[in-house]
Amino acid sequence: MRIIPLQNYHISLPLYGHSVRAGFPSPADDYIEKSLDLNEHVIQHPAATYFVRAHGESMIQLGIHDGDLLVVDRALEAVHGDVVIAALDGQLTCKVLDLRQERLLSGNDLFRPISLKDLDLIIEGVVTHSLRYHR
């Protein structure tokens, strides 16, 4: 994984007042409700947030695909069920934290759980959002 630093700038983009149907098309409406700053919606703790690009297929059943940009918050305490960035013996990985059975789970049935027993584990942050590139 490659960590991408968080920049200290804000870009406000137009937010249209109507939602867009994902099924059948509806007439477009040019009404702009207000400006939208993505920083307000995806970044809760700017000083503790970073971006990292996902690599591989181990989280596809959770909607995280190869190449997606993950928003990771280091200020959040990881709880059971969180998607986390974990350092296992110095290697970064994105997995689901299973505190009840002390393991990390993949979001792909082809990958086995990773037992946390006898491993050097550091939680590097909680994944709060994933951004997929469609083009």
Please, are residues 89 and 46 in contact by the beta-carbon 8 Å criterion?
no
Is residue 58 annotated as a catalytic residue, yes or no? Answer: yes
Write out the E strands in the chain: 3-4, 12-16, 32-37, 49-53, 69-73, 83-88, 91-98, 103-105, 114-115, 121-131
Query: Active site residue: 19, 26, 58, 115, which one?
Result: 58
With 0-12 / 13-18 / 19 or more C-beta atoms within 10 angstroms meaning exposed / middle / buried, residue 23 is: exposed
Q: Which residues pair with 92 in a beta bridge?
A: 87
Query: Active site residue: 95, 106, 117, 130, which one?
Result: 95
CA distance 60 to 109: 10
Please, are residues 130 and 63 in contact by the beta-carbon 8 Å criterion?
yes
Active site residues: 58, 95
